[in-house]
Chain A
Amino acid sequence: MEIDYSKHKHVVVIYPHPDDESFGTAGTVVKFREAGVPVTYLCGTLGEMGRNMGSPFFANRETLPEIRKQELINACKEIDMDLQMLSYRDKTMEFEDEQVVADDLRKRIEELDASLVITFYPPYAVHPDHNAMGRAAFRAIRDMDPDKRPEVWANAISNDHQEILGSPDIVIDTKDVFQKKLNALKAHKSQIDGMLQKVRQGNEELSEFDLALRYFQYETYHTVTFD
C-alpha cells in the first residue's frame, strides 16, 4: 500500500514511555517529516519505574527520570519531532481517571489539528501503560465530532494480536530512513544498550545497523475507525 504522507496536516503520536516512539514509529515519523508534515509526540510518563538502568548500569531509581527525560528530548531531536510531556507516572496510567486523561488528550489533539493519531491498540499492547494510553486515546477520538476525527493507526504487539485482529493493514519499511531511527533508538542509552547486547549474541558478524535493522525495520499498524 502506497502511503501519501504529504496529505496529512499534523500527526500526533500518543504513547506512555520515552523510547516507545523510537521502537514503534520513529521511521514513520521521519517519513512524515520528510514530506513536510509536523509531528508531535504526547509522551505520558518519564518511564520512572523502568528496570533497565543501562548496561553496564549507570542509572538508579532516583536518577532515572531525569536521564530518560533527556534521552527522550534527544531522540525527538534526531527525528525532528515536537514533544509534549504529560507528567503521568510510569506504571500508573491504568489507575488514572480514563476520562480525565482522554479529555486532556482530546484538547491537545484538537489544538494541534491532527489529521492522524498513532497510538497503541488496546488491549493488544502488552504493557499496562501501553493499553491504558491507547484506551484513553481511543476514547478521546470517540468523544470528538465524527466529522473532525483524525485517522487512527494503532500498534498491536501482543503475541495473539494477529489471530484476533488479522494482519496489520499498514506496514512501513523504514530501511531508507533507518539511520535516523537507529539514532533515535540509541538516544535511549539507558534502555537500548542491554537489548542490543542481547540480540548481538550469535550475530557477531552483523554491523550495529544491520543488527538493529533485523529487529526494527518494519513498523506496523492497524487502522481503527469509530462508529
Chain B
Amino acid sequence: MKSIELNKVQDYLDQWTNKPVYVHVETTNGAYAKHFDANAYNVGAYVRNAQITYTQGKIVEQEGAYRVGLKHEIGWIYAEGLTDFEFNENNQLLMAGHDADGRLMVAMQLSETPFNY
C-alpha cells in the first residue's frame, strides 16, 4: 500500500457508483489493549462481504488523514482515519489507516467480487 492520493481514490470510487460491490470495513485497537492498560477497552468491529450499491462515494482529506463515505439507498457506510491505499491485481480497492508502528487501525475495502473467505 502507499499513501492515499485523493484524486486517484476518488476515480476508483466513481467507477462503481450505482453498481453492486462487496465491502469490507473494520476498525480495531487490537486484542491486547486492556491487557496492557487496565483503563483501556478492546474495541473493534468488522463487516466482511456485505453487498451494497452506493449512489455516491466520496473521499475527503483532513490533516493528512482521510474519510470515505458511501451513500446508498437506505443508509451510509463510513470510515475515518484512512491513510494508505492500493488497487490490487484483483481489481479491489483497499484503503487502511495505520498507526506509527504500521499497525492497522481501520480499513475500508471495495470489490466487484467477494473477498476471499
**A51 close to B116 (CB less than 8 A):** no
CA distance A126 to B35 in the complex (A): 7
Pair A51/B28 contact, Cβ less than 8 Å = yes
Question: Known contacts being A53-B98, A89-B117, is A61 close to B104, with CB within 8 Å?
Answer: yes
Residues in A with CB closer than 8 Å to B88 are: 60, 62
With A56-B102, A61-B26, A194-B103 given, can you name 15 additional A-B contacts, CB distance below 8 Å? A49-B26, A51-B28, A51-B105, A52-B102, A53-B104, A57-B98, A57-B102, A60-B1, A60-B96, A91-B44, A126-B32, A126-B35, A127-B31, A128-B31, A194-B101
- A-B residue pairs in contact (CB < 8 Å), sample of 13: A51-B28, A51-B30, A51-B105, A54-B102, A56-B102, A60-B1, A60-B94, A61-B24, A62-B116, A91-B46, A159-B38, A194-B101, A198-B101
**Interface positions of B from 101 to 117, Cβ below 8 Å from A:** 101-105, 107, 109, 115-117
Q: How far is the CB of A161 from chain B (nearest CB, A)?
A: 11
Please indicate which of the listed interface residues A56, A61, A127, A159 has the most CB atoms of chain B within 10 Å of its own CB.
Answer: A61
Closest 4 CB pairs of A and B: A57-B102, A51-B104, A127-B31, A55-B102
Q: What B residues does A89 contact at CB under 8 A?
A: 117
Smallest CB gap from A63: residue in B: B88
Please judge, given known A-B contacts A51-B28, A89-B117, A127-B32, whether A61 and B102 are in contact too, CB under 8 Å.
no
Contact B35 A60 (CB under 8 A): no
Q: Which of these, A53, A61, A128, contacts B103 with CB under 8 Å?
A: A53
The interface bits of chain A over 29-70 (1 if a CB of B lies within 8 angstroms of the residue's CB, else 0) are 000000000000000000001011111110011100100000
**A158 CB within 8 Å of chain B:** yes
* Known contacts A61-B107, A65-B116, A128-B31, A194 near B102 by CB under 8 Å: yes
Using CB atoms, name the residue of chain B closest to A17.
Answer: B31
Question: Number of contacting residues on B, CB 8 A?
Answer: 28
CB neighbours of B105 from chain A (8 A): 51
Number of interface residues of A (CB under 8 A): 23
Tell me how many residue pairs across A and B have CB atoms closer than 8 Å: 63
Given contacts A60-B96, A61-B24, A158-B35, contact A52 B103 (CB under 8 A): yes
| Cα distance A42–B84 in the bound complex, in angstroms | 35
Per the bound structure, the CA–CA distance linking A89 and B48 in Å amounts to 12
Confirm or deny: B61 has a beta carbon within 8 angstroms of a beta carbon on chain A: no
- Taking CB atoms, residues of chain A closer than 8 Å to B104 are 51-53, 57, 61
Residues of chain B with a CB closer than 8 A to A62's CB: 88, 90, 92, 94, 109, 115-116
Q: Which residue of A lies closest to B28 (CB)?
A: A51
CA distance A189 to B88 in the complex (A): 22
B14 proximity list for chain A (CB < 8 A): none
Q: Report B13-56 CB contacts with A as 1/0, cut-off 8 Å.
A: 00000000000101010111001001000001010000000000
For B24, B38, B46, B101, the residue with the greatest tally of chain A CB atoms inside 10 Å of its CB is: B101
- Cβ–Cβ < 8 Å partners of A158 in chain B: 35
- Which residues on the B side are within 8 Å of A54 (C-beta)? 102
Contacts of B92 in A (CB 8 A): 62
Cross-interface CB contact of B86 among A49, A60, A91, cutoff 8 Å = A60
Given A62-B92, A62-B109, A62-B116: A57 and B31 interface contact (C-beta under 8 Å)? no
